[in-house]
Amino acid sequence: MEPQSELLKINKNEYLAQQKSKLEDALDMGLTKNEYNLICEKIDKIPNITELGIFSAMFSEHCSYKSSKKWLKTLPTEASHVIQGPGENAGVIDIGENLAAVFKIESHNHPSFIEPYQGSATGVGGILRDVFTMGARPIALMNALRFGSPDQPLTKHLVSGVVRGIGGYGNCIGIPTVGGETNFDKSYDGNILVNAMAVGLAKKDRIFYSAATGAGNPVIYVGAKTGRDGIHGATMASAEFTENSTEKRPTVQVGDPFTGKLLLEACLELMNTDAVLSIQDMGAAGLTSSSVEMASKGSLGMNLNLDLVPTREDKMTSYEIMLSESQERMLMILKPGSEEKAKSIFDKWDLDFANIGEVTNTGRLILTKHGFEACNLPLEPLVEDAPEYNKPYEIKTDKKVLKPTDLKTNLTIFDILKIIFKNPNIASKKWIWEQYDSSVMGDTIFANGISDASIVKIHGTEKKESYGKGLAITTDCTPRYVKSDPIIGGMQAVCEAARNIASSGAIPLAITNNLNFGNPDKKNVMGEIVGSIKGISEAASFLGTPIVSGNVSLYNETNGKSILPTPVIGMVGTIDKVENSLEISAKLENVLIALGQSDNFESGWVGCSIYQEIINKKYDGAPPPINLDNEKQVIEILLKLTEQKLLTAAHDISDGGLLTTVCEMLFKYNLGLDINLPDNLINCDNNDPLLQSWCFGEDQARVIIGTKNVKKVQVILKENNVDFFVLGKTNSTSNLNLKDITTISISNLSKLNENTIPAMMGMKQQG
Amino acid sequence: MRSGVVIFPGSNCDRDMIVALRKITGKTPIKIWHKEYDIPNLDLIVIPGGFTFGDYLRCGALAARSPVITSIKNHISRGGTVLGVCNGFQILIEAKILPGSLIRNKKLLFTCRETTLEVQNCMKNPFLSGLKIGECLKIPVAHNEGNYFAPEDSLKQLKEEGRIALKYIKQNDNEKNYNPNGSTEDIAGILSNNGKVLGMMPHPERAINYLQGGTDGLKFLTNCVEQIIG
């Protein structure tokens, strides 16, 4: 080998990257002193800058899950229908007919705050690659978004940018964005959440995995060229924000949905041949995590010649190439001899295709640049020795039970409903949804709030007697409940997701979760993480919906202020006949029945409710309790009634309680209802706390159904010991009457519901 | 009937159009790759929607310079029939096969929603001739640049020659946002001077079954097929 002085002449920066590191370099890269010492000890040398960069990326919270791993291991991940649980690019479940659903949710929180358009667009691009890396064609996108207070000036800019970014990527690549949730709270003012979920479809026996195989097999780089964007993005995503965070803009990647589309088509075309042995997308920590993970999962090694990596710029160093997070790139191991055939496919799609090295059996990652050894590291410490912390925690719960009579107000029921539908958390998200192409691919049945879960038909399952099978997808979390009681809040997120899937007529099957929290070094934040994982675990195992993939996003804090704990649950289910799936909207002259857990439907749970916030200007007290037996009973009865085609609508009761849910069901066809009240409430005043708690309480495990066959439904509900309360028959008046107490104009509320978000975004009122 | 669907890098409604045409004709349309110069004789060529070449330049501008456009122009000069939907319409305009331009939606936002179209009293053509003048079709749109614009003289000529084929229309007097993109005179689709080429922003291939927003798209495409095969 040439002396290092030669390297200095060729590429000065590469020369610097190959120099021995110092402790200060490690601290700059976000490693601790202990971690640096551990690295030096494990690899038996002082790492050079490139090697240290690789360690810092692999040891980052984003890649190593060092704070949460201990607890993530406790999540239930197995069931007979699980083909692949956590640990791969995405989770895989068996959905029958020799098909598999492949799905995952992932956060792009920090980049989206710094650069909302590119941050959210690359979030979508990244999650799509996770899915098609497994050999699945993505068929639907979902998201869970959290923004700061609507009246904070930055919020409008962030909402606009994130929504355009999500649409910009999804619309262009041609995969429908079919739903999700968008909420606002001041705790997200300096730290928004952008969680994107993708669902794909594959043949059950054609799933591709990432573990490298066969020493001597070629390692192929495909897709876009490597640039200097996003260097150390994984490290940035693992740190708290300060006022100067927007200075981190250069660490945000830039999305190219067009190249993403070409890469998608080229990869799926290649996967139709027998050339691909293993494949991994270059997501967080780019070439570093993909090469390290592929080699270590296969218990092998890898030699790469970085001079062969297609780059966008001259004289990129080994450090930059390994840590770049340029988008739309994949790494794969091909069957020897199939390179030509594979290359012709990538040529057709005008994508780079480079043979950059080979699989070895050394257990080491060896990289060369300009003929010099830029990195020579054992793989084991990179993966196995990534720290796993058992951080101290304290699960804080608010046990105080608020009674309805604790809340006193002069507001009428109509006043409260008006306030509710002026709240952007509840109001229609149509303004957002219309910016997403929800119908491309031609299989969307229900998108964007038409049903409690979004329904996408499974292409090719059409039969003579049926439109075919469908997938039901939802994302859910109620952070204010998690804040008050992390365990109950974790359970509630799972239960609401399952209820939403069942309300659409589908069977809940499995979960992908996105755990968004603040700084885990704080005891109470760590307690939120531990508590909600406990709650999620308990509910998910009880309901038989294991967690098959997921993502953790920590350090969601700005200047020491943490976000509300937000463990988002993405759930997938199936429905055998898509024509049986249910809208939330009630039909004319159908009977609405509230069913499920209740205290005889005589009052409501007000702690932590939207109603409480209206009266008290804050949320506190214990959140509504969760009874898993009742949750299961509601899911089962919904499925039974759907199967017998007895329902015309279903909508779960969540934010804003029973009356809000009723209004949402009446909006679409502008219907009215003379609503029955429990005997104890018939003679109440309009502002009676008990009556209002009945209207707006947020008790769980409840759903409102619409039916034409009220007698038959009642018989079945009684046979199955399900509590229920008949609300009444819909009419064409567009008035919701509560006996003699009040008359509420549905068309009036419907207008508010439609106009809230456009008004917030400064758009003209819609006619 | 022999039909073909053109595929560019970034086309993304090609499969949907193929599904729709197969449903109607019972035959699978051929796929035409954008680099092809020679294409067989076809009764109908469809340029589907998508984001060809990412729409990173003006929408459709790069696709309009692909080799296949020469073949499509030859097909048109032989009296062949071409339907361009959404990005396909943008490509036809960029290729100067149809006049005018499609600019950003008036609200500067991507819009995906249902629209109601009215069949116009226009020249003889194979797309609408079997439908009634004034007939309404519910067909969705999904685009960022669908705001049709043409200079006044050009617009006058389009009107005189009966080449305005489809317009967005209100369903009731109070409806303010029936035009999803602010297009001039609510234009949703226009014809070439021989009536054999139609460019339209709405996606008929997305309205082909009752569960998914109705079957007016199916009705529209079925009529096209019937008119073409006579």
pLDDT digits (tens, 9 = 90+) for B33-49: 999 888 999 999 999 99
Nearest to A351 by CA among A290, A267, A289, A280: A267
Mean residue pLDDT of chain A comes to: 93
Tokens 């001039």 -> residue: B184
A706 - beta bridge partners? Answer: A592, A649
Cβ–Cβ gap B142/A171 under 8 Å: yes
Q: Nearest by CB to A257, which of B54, B177, B208?
A: B54
What is residue A2's predicted lDDT score, i.e. its pLDDT? 61
From chain A, pick out residues whose CB is under 8 angstroms from the CB of B54: 172, 256-259
> How far does CA A440 lie from the centroid of its chain?
21
Instruction: Give the per-residue pLDDT at B174.
Output: 84
- The token pair at A625 is 């309790």
Distance CA A569, CA A547 (A): 9
What is the spatial distance between Cα B216 and Cα B204, in angstroms, rounded to a whole number?
A: 7
A chain contacts of residue B181, beta-carbon cutoff 8 Å: none
CA gap A397, A545 in Å, rounded:
26
By C-alpha distance, the chain B residue nearest A258 is B54
pLDDT of res. A248? 53
The predicted model gives A679-705 an average pLDDT of 95
Cα A391 to chain centroid distance, Å, stands at 25
> Is A767 near chain B, with CB under 8 Å?
yes
**Across the interface, do B110 and A173 touch by the CB < 8 Å criterion?**
no
Query: Rounded to whole angstroms, how far apart are CA atoms A562 and A245?
Result: 15
Q: Which residues contact B177 (CB under 8 A, 6 or more apart)?
A: A766, A767
Question: Tell me: the pLDDT tens digits for A81-136?
Answer: 999 999 999 999 999 999 999 999 999 999 999 999 999 999 999 999 999 999 99
* Torsion, Cα of B217, B219, B221, B225 (10° steps): 170
**Dihedral sign, Cα of residue A12, residue A13, residue A18, residue A24:** positive
* Extents of the domains making up chain B: 3-229
CB contact under 8 A, A262 and B9: yes
Indicate yes or no: CB of B15 within 8 angstroms of CB of A171: no
Average pLDDT over residues B159-184: 94
Nearest CA to CA, how far is A265 from chain B (Å)?
A: 9
CB contact under 8 A, B211 and A167: no
Question: Mutate which of B109, B209, B221 to disrupt the A interface (most A C-beta within 10 Å)?
Answer: B109
**ipTM score of the complex?**
0.96
- For the purposes of burial, counting CB atoms within 10 Å of the CB of B149, is it exposed (0-12), middle (13-18) or buried (19 or more)? middle
The nearest CA of chain B is from the CA of A700 a distance in Å of 31
pLDDT per residue as tens digits for the range A271-280: 999 999 999 9
| pLDDT number for residue A599 | 60
Tell me if residue A607 falls in helix, strand or coil.
coil
What pLDDT score was predicted for residue A243? 56
Q: Coil, helix or strand for A241?
A: strand
The tokens for A766 are 């819609």
Share of chain A above pLDDT 70, in %: 96
Chain A residues closer than 8 Å to B140 by CB: 439
C-alpha A297/C-alpha A383 separation (Å) is 9
Task: State mean pLDDT over B149-158.
Answer: 97
Strand partners for B11: B50
Angle at the Cα of A463 from the Cα atoms of A458 and A466, rounded to 5 degrees: 85
The model's pLDDT over A1-40, given as tens digits with 9 standing for 90+, comes to 567 888 999 899 999 999 999 999 999 998 999 999 999 9
Quote the CA–CA distance of A55 and A509 in Å, as a whole number.
37
* Closest residue in chain A to residue B35, using alpha carbons only: A348
Q: Which helix (H) or strand (E) holds B142?
A: strand B136-143
Q: Å from A216 to nearest chain B CA?
A: 34
- Amino acid (1-letter code) at residue A332: M
Q: How far is A670 from A567, CA to CA, in rounded Å?
A: 35
Question: From CA A324, how far away is CA A127, in angstroms rounded?
Answer: 18
Q: Do B212 and A350 touch (CB under 8 A)?
A: no
Q: Is A253 helix (H, G, I), strand (E, B) or coil?
A: coil
- Active-site option among A81, A108, A370, A651: A108
Contact between residue A495 and residue A631 where contact means Cβ atoms under 8 Å apart: yes
- Residues of A in Cβ contact (< 8 Å) with B213: 439
**pLDDT tens-digit profile of A353-383?**
999 999 999 999 999 999 999 999 999 999 8
DSSP A183-196: EE-GGGTTS-EEEE
Token readout for A350 is: 């005008």
Which has more confidence, A765 or A735? Answer: A735
Whole-angstrom CA distances from A697 to A313, A363, A657 are: 59, 59, 5
A284-336 pLDDT, tens per residue? 889 999 999 999 999 999 999 999 999 998 889 999 999 998 889 999 999 99
- Tell me the residues of chain A between 558 and 587 that have a Cβ less than 8 Å away from chain B: 578-579
Tokens of A612: 């409480």
Sequence letter at residue B10: G
Extended beta strands in A427-532, E state: 444-446, 454-457, 470-476, 507-516
DSSP string, A292-318: HHHHHHTT-EEEEEGGGS-BSSTT--H
Residue with token string 């068996």: A94
Residue A269 touches partner B, C-beta closer than 8 Å: no
Residues of B with catalytic function: 86, 203, 205
Question: Tens digit of pLDDT for each residue in A637-671?
Answer: 999 999 999 999 999 999 999 999 999 999 999 99
Residue B12 to residue A440, Cβ atoms within 8 A: yes
Distance from CA of B194 to the nearest CA of A (A): 31
Query: From the list B54, B113, B176, which residue is nearest A434 (CB)?
Result: B113
Which residue type does A78 have?
E
User: Residues of B with CB below 8 A from A257's CB?
Assistant: 51, 54
A62 is catalytic: yes
Q: What pLDDT, on a 0 to 100 scale, did the predictor assign at position A767?
A: 37
**β-sheet with A507-516: strand ranges across:** A444-446, A454-457, A470-476, A566-575, A507-516, A547-553
SS3 A405: helix
Q: In whole angstroms, give the CA distance from residue A17 to residue A607.
A: 57
Confidence at A766, pLDDT banded by 50, 70, 90: very low
To the nearest whole Å, the CA of B214 is away from the closest chain A CA by: 11
Task: Kindly report the nearest CA distance between residue A637 and chain B, in angstroms.
Answer: 24
pLDDT tens per residue, range B108-122: 999 999 999 999 999
Task: Please give the residue that has the higher pLDDT: either A400 or A601.
Answer: A400
Helix (H, G, I), strand (E, B) or coil at A3: coil
The interaxial angle of helices A657-667 and A746-760, nearest 10 deg, is 90
Q: How far away is chain B from the Cα of A708, in angstroms, using its nearest Cα? A: 20
Q: Are A446 and A454 in contact (CB under 8 A)?
A: yes
Does this model's pTM top 0.80? My answer is yes
The region of weakest confidence among A223-232, A724-733, B13-22, B177-186 is A223-232
- When pLDDT is averaged across residues B165-182 and rounded to a whole number, the result is 93
pLDDT digits (tens, 9 = 90+) for A564-602: 999 999 999 999 999 999 999 999 999 999 998 766 567
CA-nearest of A292, A376, A288 to A326 is A288
Residues of chain A contacting B20 with CB distance shorter than 8 Å: 442
Residues of B with CB under 8 A from a CB of A: 9-10, 12-13, 15-16, 19-20, 49-51, 53-56, 107, 109-113, 140, 142, 144, 174-177, 203, 205-206, 208-209, 211-213
pLDDT tier for residue A559 given thresholds of 50, 70 and 90: confident
Tokens of A269: 């075309």
Among chain B residues, CA nearest to A168: B110
- In CATH terms, the fold of domain B3-229 is Rossmann fold (3.40.50)
Of B12, B111, B176, the CB nearest to A261: B12
Strand (E) or helix (H) holding A339? helix A339-348
